[in-house]
Structure 1
């Protein structure tokens, strides 16, 4: 049924097709056969669809509950993947009912989250009868020194000599025994008691960026204190901008194993525990978190099941067998470590995303390593909003039926992307620039061949649409030397209006940031995109670095970096050189931000702004007494002028808004929202500050005056950024669109996942056992 279908006309003898082409008008037979072929193709497609509907893996979404009825599966609600997986694995789970493997597999099936089930009775301390002593593995009671993290200390005492071991206390892989806790079970709080079953859940998804450039790297000579100490070091910061970041491990759970492979300490998608990164400690297991991969030529992509951090080192440096590892605090790594770094030793700081190599020679080893080091790293995030290495479709539907100019880019640096954007003003077909890897690209529009200028600033001039995208599974970083500006090549000429009416720029899967040393961004109010004289600007799965990340400053801990506007587009459309162009430009540009993360948006009322499953960050968290503007006018005083026409569908805003009008649903405004035309539009199932809002008609909404709200993190770059805490008002988590959460991650339907877990646990958990859900991330 999967063989490709040849059109009926193509099955005719070639002589008839040749004669058909010689007719006037030509191809009359092909048109006639095409009509007949549509009927037969429709019949064939219907038969094929009926065949696919017999199987849960390929049936239409509406058929899932009907197939579930055949197995006696009670109906759930949520995303189609969850419902399909629930029915597909029903028999698998029923055969293993009552086992820990079934609980973990069921939890993963219903949520897609990593899960670990713990029987609390196995972690409870108990007093032994002197006539019936039952010493656990590791020694005789009453005193026993721990050398593993598997067995519980039940008849002995926990050692305080191993801080690495103690770091697992009260976590999902806690190896110690606890006294009974008789308080009622509560989500997020493990209670150790005989009937309790703790199910730990990792809600953040692990995203692995393959073969990227370190954000900062340097080689330096050091003075060894004794023999064996490193004489040279290489310091590398993982984040592409050199910012602190938390390194995650990858999720390596084999759901189809029989029996299921229970979640392991070293294979869950959470922050790397420093205790496991040291080679010379009893609790160390660095091979499960980090790997050294020598390469010649081009580093290979991480394979399925790869560890969270892969260090691609150029040959002929020692391979993985020649290195030892250490988890360490590298906040002040310029001052050295205590004890000193050894030769062939790698120190890793998983909380700050720093890596330190110890080598024996500066010129022969450290410098070549600094020049050739590549890193595949993993981070955690709530979902695919923003730039992430996810699977992407080849081309959107609106581009599939037209010829395009495809320009592939790879290798990073300052020339590859610059050359791919050359001569855009001479093209007659849409240009697609696809970046094939996750390297860092420096873009200086002033060096692009054929660029224009506007007000003395370099500008990309277009005669046709432009689409810049990341290849599937990649997340390239574009470091701008000057702001992006897009404008038509010709605004006043004959036929220019028709060209402009179809002019679109689409950015997909890109992480756009700015060069911290560039003169083009010396002004902190300079936006990443300063001109968008187009019919349509689309940001799809893109991050416009909002700034405000954690600044690693020993003198001022806890300080945030400066914030950066994402867009600044005024009513003159950027035509500052010729006012006649402003008069001739007759478009009302659409700015569509879909599943993206951006900073402040400054746009005048001639623009239309659409925000879908996105986060707008102006740096103002809940409770900020003087919030910054997140969306406002680009010209004049933002306290007096009005911004664009706004449409929202699942949005979180860290800042206040002042717009011309607003319409939509499922959004969170932490601070004041003011709509000039408050008789137009309607906002439904959303959250407002209740502090001087000027709102249009609204329905099913909450206000901060009567509902509490809290986020896991509000600083860009931290794990859990933009994630609603479970302690937020239940209405906020359950009364958004589709009876799920409000905000930019509502489309994940996480509330449905929690409810589905509780429904299924009633069937699969033995009578008398009480499950307690504990989110780890």
Structure 2
């Protein structure tokens, strides 16, 4: 927000002595001075705001972005480019970092300021093995044989000793940033993202993936096994999938970084924003620390129905990556871990492989034991009674953390406050909370066809909402199912910090409540409504219910001025199943000409819009859109299930309806940061920053221009292009091409540097270019040359 938009000061007239107010009231007509000062009040307010802005520009925390390099000049520090947040932090901590120059803490602090990533530095000379004389041992503490030291056991790694192989939790740290074992000298030159244990090397491990935590979500209870007759093991076993849709999910831990600690310790063992290692969850292991990853708490189910309480106030949300919320009264005083000795029975935890849980476990589950598989996001919970099992089946809630490259798709992000107005009209806000009303979303959509103001539906939870248009919309005599009739614009959005899932029983279809009227005056009014009719979906995860028609898209009609999908996931399928195969890809949008009206009808003729389809920071399956639409793709990822090296066949990520080869031309398209897995065929295109893994075919390739993009070089039909690269001469690689995996869509460091650094704004091409990762790498290299001690070689090693 600019300083000129701050609230204005007290009006000039109110600052005058009271005698002038009295005399002004005595004039004929009265109030002449007031009206005169009202004319100059706006100008005076702008001058005052400008003066206040100049004061704010004295401070790095509040100054405008253009002032940052000028303050840097005052400190004598070199200029950098990138995110304003990182530039401010770099300048703000310049003096403090110079005082600590040459220390490991300073390097970690500097790295965090310039990247925002989790970071851990290791002086690799400390990890080198020692060759010791038996008569003059030099153990870690010095002077005394190591196993006689306090706190040292046979499971403790001793520098210069042998590796203890009895503890899986300790062995899981091998070749990680917190590796405690000794290594032989590696004299090879530094390689890409490789650790080289040598005297001058400093390893700087980086966690680049963002860890997103869903505060309260419903698990999928697969079944409850009655094992009471067996006489061994748990009496009742619940098999639980963490993902609300039952898909495999790699569980992450949270970062417990305290920004106020000086010098800061950014990343510590068992507190990093990375995947949870299964072996560290073993409670019976000497090096197991399950309490750093998992927590068990209880809650009162009646408190969830209180609409006046926020979700965080209803439940005790901890800081770990995975938290189980058990319903009372069946589990009163059953939280874990506890500072005081818990009353029996107490929970025990372990990490395990639950991929084939149907065939049983190597070590049977016991009563009051929880087995966690963080690799695929599964739980086994053993309880003693049928009542406890039934309570968990209906009342178990989870807080879980997952990883993603960045804010593309539906994530629990901080969002802007609700708008007071939309398109010049005061909005009607309809809050929805699943805990208060499981059918709240359907209830909020009931009478939208008669609304006289724009409607904003805010979903204030991260639960799964069932949406059946058949229950709230009447069938039309037009082709195609149920429709949401709109009289004003509609916004459905997630509240700040939430990620709701909407499970559809049939495709979404949007249309105006009225399109045609024989009265010209009424038709003019209808045209004015249609000129502004917008549907905006923000922060939502749209998927299919069990009875969803096979082969249908998630959105099948958009007879609107604009359909905006912001921070959404239109479930593309394609996730990796437990047997290693990929689930089928599913279509996201299918929008044909005539907009769903009968061809040649009065409604089709009266509908005078060219609908705009906007996908912004959205993950989507294939789009089938006709040429009478306009498509805008901004930092979007489209998935037709075809990655690098796959034969594209007829898997189109964007195309129009029709048959090959004469048809299937999609709409005119504007691109600003895009990753496409599959072919794309459109009428015309312009923009920048795209990555087309497979062919891009443009019908009217004499119009439009693409800049700073990557093309496959196989079957492309391109418009004019500038600053682009083409495969296979430019190597393209992704960390993951499978939806649902943490690094989905992340460019590999082995990709051609032009793809990673020569996109728009001298940064990466593709959907995630706005993260400015190339700027972060360059800024780190610049600062390391200034802060690194002589003779020390920094090795930047991404962990995620």
Match of 2:574 in 1: 548
For structure 1, which segment, 389-398 or 175-184, has the greater mean C-alpha deviation from structure 2 after superposition?
389-398
Q: How many residues are paired up?
A: 760
1:78-89 matches, within 5 Å, as: 78-89=82-93
Contact 1:422 1:450 in 2 (8 A): no
Counterpart pick for 1:60 among 64, 76, 97: 64
Match of 1:597 in 2: 619
Match of 1:492 in 2: 516
* TM-superposed deviation, 1:481: 0.9
Contact 2:154 2:164 in 1 (8 A): no
Change (3 A) 1:303 1:270: farther
> Does residue 738 in structure 1 map to residue 761 in structure 2?
yes
Counterpart secondary structure, 1:160: coil
Unaligned 5+ runs, structure 1: none
Contact 1:452 1:460 in 2 (8 A): no
> Does residue 565 in structure 1 map to residue 587 in structure 2?
yes
Match of 1:330 in 2: 354
Match of 2:120 in 1: 116
Counterpart secondary structure, 1:592: strand
1:231-310 matches, within 5 Å, as: 231-261=235-265, 263-296=267-300, 297-298=303-304, 300=312, 306-310=319-323
Match of 1:426 in 2: 450
Match of 1:319 in 2: 335
Contact 2:688 2:709 in 1 (8 A): yes
For structure 1, which segment, 151-160 or 736-745, has the greater mean C-alpha deviation from structure 2 after superposition?
151-160
Counterpart secondary structure, 1:612: strand
Q: Distance in 2 between matches of 1:345 and 1:109?
A: 42
Q: Distance in 1 between matches of 2:31 and 2:327?
A: 59
Change (3 A) 1:647 1:129: same
Match of 2:170 in 1: 165
Match of 1:187 in 2: 192
Match of 1:380 in 2: 403
Q: Distance in 2 between matches of 1:128 and 1:6?
A: 79
* TM-superposed deviation, 1:485: 0.4
Q: Distance in 2 between matches of 1:148 and 1:762?
A: 42
Task: Give the TM-score taking structure 1 as reference length.
Answer: 0.93
Match of 1:99 in 2: 103
Match of 2:520 in 1: none
Contact 1:120 1:194 in 2 (8 A): yes
For structure 1, which segment, 696-705 or 332-341, has the greater mean C-alpha deviation from structure 2 after superposition?
332-341
Match of 1:538 in 2: 564
For structure 1, which segment, 744-753 or 218-227, has the greater mean C-alpha deviation from structure 2 after superposition?
218-227
> Does residue 609 in structure 1 map to residue 631 in structure 2?
yes
Match of 1:369 in 2: 392
Q: Distance in 2 between matches of 1:766 and 1:149?
A: 37
1:448-463 matches, within 5 Å, as: 448=472, 454-455=478-479, 457-463=481-487
Counterpart pick for 2:724 among 701, 706, 726: 701
Q: Distance in 1 between matches of 2:43 and 2:212?
A: 45
Match of 1:130 in 2: 134
* TM-superposed deviation, 1:155: 2.2
Q: Distance in 2 between matches of 1:458 and 1:118?
A: 60
Q: Distance in 1 between matches of 2:31 and 2:597?
A: 49
1:334-349 matches, within 5 Å, as: 334-349=358-373
* TM-superposed deviation, 1:360: 0.3
Change (3 A) 1:26 1:115: farther
Match of 2:645 in 1: 623
Match of 1:716 in 2: 739
Counterpart pick for 1:658 among 677, 681, 689: 681
Match of 1:408 in 2: 431
Counterpart pick for 2:535 among 505, 509, 513: 505
Counterpart pick for 1:178 among 172, 183, 187: 183
* TM-superposed deviation, 1:451: 7.2
Contact 2:137 2:145 in 1 (8 A): no
Change (3 A) 1:595 1:396: farther
* TM-superposed deviation, 1:32: 6.0
For structure 1, which segment, 529-538 or 309-318, has the greater mean C-alpha deviation from structure 2 after superposition?
309-318
Task: Give the TM-score taking structure 2 as reference length.
Answer: 0.90
Q: Distance in 1 between matches of 2:630 and 2:99?
A: 55
Q: Distance in 2 between matches of 1:300 and 1:622?
A: 43
Match of 1:514 in 2: 544
* TM-superposed deviation, 1:34: 4.3
Counterpart pick for 1:725 among 723, 748, 755: 748
Q: Distance in 2 between matches of 1:597 and 1:478?
A: 15
* C-alpha distance after superposition, 1:474-523 (max 9, x if no partner): 111111111100001111122322211111000111111111x21x32x2
Q: Distance in 2 between matches of 1:304 and 1:29?
A: 59
Unaligned 5+ runs, structure 2: 305-310, 339-345, 518-522
* TM-superposed deviation, 1:201: 0.3
Q: Distance in 2 between matches of 1:48 and 1:250?
A: 40
Match of 2:307 in 1: none
Q: Distance in 2 between matches of 1:143 and 1:558?
A: 49
Q: Distance in 2 between matches of 1:27 and 1:369?
A: 72
Counterpart secondary structure, 2:136: coil
* TM-superposed deviation, 1:154: 2.5
* TM-superposed deviation, 1:397: 9.1
Counterpart secondary structure, 2:528: helix
Change (3 A) 1:133 1:165: same
* TM-superposed deviation, 1:635: 4.2
Contact 1:142 1:156 in 2 (8 A): no
